[in-house]
Amino acid sequence: MKYVSTRGEAPALPFEDAMLTGLARDGGLYVPQTWPTLDADTIASFAFASYEEVAFHVIRPFLGDTFTDDEFREILSKAYASFGHVCRCPLVQLNAGHFLLELFHGPTLAFKDVAMQLIGQMFQVALGRKGERCTIVGATSGDTGSAAIEAFRGLDAVDVFIMYPDGRVSDVQRRQMTTPAESNVHAIAVDGDFDDCQALLKDMFNDFAFRDRVQLAGVNSINWARVVAQIVYYFTAAVAVGAPKRNVSFTVPTGNFGDIFAGYAAKRMGLPIDRLVIATNQNDILHRTLQSGDHSKSGVTPSISPSMDIQVSSNFERLVFELYDRRGTAVQALMQQLKTEGSFELSGAALQRLRQEFDSGRCDERQTAETIAEQYRQTGEVLCPHTAVGVKVASDRLSDNHSPMITLATAHAAKFPAAVESACGVHPPLPERMADLFDRPERITQVPNDLQAVEALVLQRTGRG
């Protein structure tokens, strides 16, 4: 199995290199050259299997010869041992035909742990074998950074640097990044906003001399290895409610389109998914795209579901590649237009294909708070604001849906206590295993919003200066 770039110019790479590289050098994203499929009997056999067992069968076709079967089983067992639920990603029921897939039982209480814990272990084995050491640098608005730090802390093949906007992440999110004591973890408070952090990251990747000197690797949501890890829970959840004998639908609170693209991948692999529903908050570029074919940026408005406050949905490029029959030149032209004009228009054929697979809905701030309150009254479930966006969009379409609907619960309510308490009057407590988060000492390095300053820090801390 090889990986090709969505822009058609970077060389095809095996899984290991696509994972360690992150972004293709032509600016594109790596996707598998062909979609592997699983037959109905194999899918049916998942009904009584552990999460790790299903993960083994779903992910293995993507790996080529990167790991032996024994190595990969060991990686999976280490990755998910940190989860606080034996099912890893359990289902709960909200209503007739409506289920919630809880993806927040990992160490940082958001679904990003599901992928990040796995790629931490995969990096360690792949780099350890080569006797190499790499430097992971990431930018975060909160959830990605803490998940990356939890996944890579203490691994000896990796240094991890996470830049976050000083003063603009929640206390829980900051403490999850600044309290790990391991010397390979570096939490960096940048004097700027999230866009500044992302711009610094991009500039580091474009500084090829620096990139090669520190063996820079990226683990943001465009890394293919993250998407692949997320395919697994679509299978475990669908099988639990009757697949492959019946079709199942999913609603996904969406930002960068990584999570829902994993659902699309599951469908391409043979999972009988009926509808894939994109749920957005007031930052609704994807919903507008589905409505009209017009993919135009309009500026980010901060919301109570901050992990979905995006204006460029980077993984959408992977879907555009499919909508245009995998023509890299077509993708290149559209992405160029997005960069220079702030928008592109999908062709009629591409829009039609998009609508064949996806639906979409939007949930504003008031509706998000109302949904948290209403679900608490009706079911006793306390939803995080991101999950509430999904639940609202899913609920609106339950009456004309003919398959069980599964909404992805992307974070634990305790990660966003202020918004949740103001919506439903309940202060969601942290799970017991992290109840001492506010007692642990913090370690923070402050840096100005300046590329040279950040690069100098990375060089010095990794001993490559």
User: Residue from 255, 328, 361, 404 that binds ligand PLP (CB under 6 A)?
Assistant: 255
Q: Is 461 in the site for ligand PLP (CB under 6 A)?
A: no
CB 392 within 8 A of CB 366: no
d(CA 267, CA 401): 18
Q: Is 254 in the site for ligand PLP (CB under 6 A)?
A: yes
Stretch touching ligand PLP by CB under 6 A, among 64-72, 92-100, 253-261, 354-362: 253-261
Which two structure tokens, joined as six digits, stand for 313?
A: 């949905």
State the nearest-atom distance from the C-beta of 23 to ligand PLP, in Å. Answer: 16
Nearer Cβ to ligand PLP (117/307): 307
Site for ligand PLP in 128-167 (CB under 6 A): 143
State the nearest-atom distance from the C-beta of 409 to ligand PLP, in Å. Answer: 9
Nearer Cβ to ligand PLP (184/367): 367
| 129-133 contact pairs (CB < 8 A, 24+) | 132/157, 132/215, 133/157, 133/158, 133/159, 133/215
β-pairing, 358-362 vs 248-253, is unpaired
User: Residue from 253, 328, 404, 417 that binds ligand PLP (CB under 6 A)?
Assistant: 253
d(CA 257, CA 86): 28
User: Residue 76 contacts by C-beta under 8 Å, 6 or more apart in sequence?
Assistant: 52, 55, 56, 118, 121
User: Residue from 22, 244, 258, 263 that binds ligand PLP (CB under 6 A)?
Assistant: 258
Nearer Cβ to ligand PLP (249/307): 307
d(CA 277, CA 84): 28
Cis amide prior to 244 (ω within 30 degrees): yes
CB 406 within 8 A of CB 393: no
d(CA 10, CA 31): 12
Nearer Cβ to ligand PLP (27/255): 255
Which two structure tokens, joined as six digits, stand for 158?
A: 């990796």
User: Residue 130 contacts by C-beta under 8 Å, 6 or more apart in sequence?
Assistant: none
d(CA 41, CA 351): 33
- Residue 278 DSSP SS3: strand
User: Residue from 140, 283, 307, 407 that binds ligand PLP (CB under 6 A)?
Assistant: 307
User: Residue from 121, 184, 198, 221 that binds ligand PLP (CB under 6 A)?
Assistant: 221
Q: Is 251 in the site for ligand PLP (CB under 6 A)?
A: no
Q: Is 257 in the site for ligand PLP (CB under 6 A)?
A: yes
Which two structure tokens, joined as six digits, stand for 373?
A: 């309150």
State the nearest-atom distance from the C-beta of 257 to ligand PLP, in Å. Answer: 5
Which of the residues 2, 112, 202, 245 is marked catalytic?
112
Report residue 35 CA to chain centroid gap. 20
Nearer Cβ to ligand PLP (94/126): 94
Site for ligand PLP in 91-110 (CB under 6 A): 110
Stretch touching ligand PLP by CB under 6 A, among 10-18, 41-49, 254-262, 263-271: 254-262
Stretch touching ligand PLP by CB under 6 A, among 255-263, 361-369, 371-379, 440-448: 255-263
Q: Is 226 in the site for ligand PLP (CB under 6 A)?
A: no
Site for ligand PLP in 355-414 (CB under 6 A): 386, 410-411
State the nearest-atom distance from the C-beta of 143 to ligand PLP, in Å. Answer: 3
Q: Is 256 in the site for ligand PLP (CB under 6 A)?
A: yes
d(CA 360, CA 371): 17
Nearer Cβ to ligand PLP (125/419): 419
State the nearest-atom distance from the C-beta of 7 to ligand PLP, in Å. Answer: 21
Number of residues that bind ligand PLP (CB under 6 A): 16
Q: Is 282 in the site for ligand PLP (CB under 6 A)?
A: no
Nearer Cβ to ligand PLP (134/136): 136
339 noted as active-site residue: no
Helix then strand then coil, % of the chain, to nearest 5:
50, 15, 35
CA distances (Å), 234 to each of 19, 207, 260, in order?
A: 21, 38, 10
CA distances (Å), 347 to each of 21, 284, 328, 352, in order?
A: 31, 20, 15, 9
d(CA 458, CA 465): 8
State the nearest-atom distance from the C-beta of 356 to ligand PLP, in Å. Answer: 20
State the nearest-atom distance from the C-beta of 281 to ligand PLP, in Å. Answer: 10
CB 82 within 8 A of CB 104: no
CB 238 within 8 A of CB 167: no
Q: Is 112 in the site for ligand PLP (CB under 6 A)?
A: yes
Residue ranges binding ligand PLP (CB under 6 A): 110, 112, 143, 221, 253-259, 307-308, 386, 410-411
Please identify every residue annotated as catalytic.
Answer: 112
